């Protein structure tokens, strides 16, 4: 393919995407961020689970259990985020996705820090993250 032909192909693809956006048929394109974010969160949760199983061997069982709980919530809400891409309501999709991402980061992140440092004083943000996760589920039910 020559340079001119490849440029024409790129222009044609750009025009098709732009036309889809203007006609409202770009819902698949707009939902891709949830799918990509869910993939990243799922991969991170598996990595965190592996680290907890192999890297926290010397930690107390109490803190390993906290790490395990954080991994479970991390995985469940990665799947929930993936499922939000299939929701027809744009409002419910946007609100629940934002709540799952931010709530998951705050809740799980806070618990990961507590377990890693073996210090419960870092857990003060967990209730805010948990509230965000609950908000995500309520957004799915109400919006």
- Per the structure block, which two tokens stand in for 141? 């039910």
Question: Above 70 in pLDDT, residue 29?
Answer: no
Q: How confident is the model at residue 143 (pLDDT cuts 50, 70, 90)?
A: confident
Backbone angles phi, psi at 59, to 5 degrees: -80, 160
- What percent of the residues of the chain are helix, what percent strand, and what percent coil, each to the nearest 5? 85, 0, 15
pTM of full prediction above 0.85: no
Q: How far apart are CA 119 and CA 7, in angstroms?
A: 57
> Mean of the per-residue pLDDT values for the chain?
89
Q: What pLDDT is attached to residue 28? A: 64
Q: How far apart are CA 25 and CA 95, in angstroms?
A: 21
Q: What pLDDT is attached to residue 9? A: 77
């Amino acid at each position: 393919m020559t340079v001119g032909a490849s440029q024409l192909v790129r222009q044609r693809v750009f025009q098709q995407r732009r036309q889809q956006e203007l006609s409202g048929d770009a819902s698949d394109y707009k939902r891709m961020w949830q799918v990509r974010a869910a993939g990243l969160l799922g991969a991170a949760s598996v990595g965190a689970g592996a680290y907890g199983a192999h890297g926290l061997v010397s930690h107390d069982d109490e803190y390993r259990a906290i790490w395990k709980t954080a991994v479970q919530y991390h995985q469940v809400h990665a799947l929930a985020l993936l499922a939000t891409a299939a929701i027809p309501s744009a409002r419910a999709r946007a609100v629940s996705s934002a709540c799952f991402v931010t709530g998951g980061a705050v809740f799980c992140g806070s618990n990961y820090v507590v377990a890693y440092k073996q210090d419960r004083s870092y857990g003060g943000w967990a209730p805010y993250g948990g509230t965000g996760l609950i908000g995500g589920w309520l957004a799915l039910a109400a919006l």
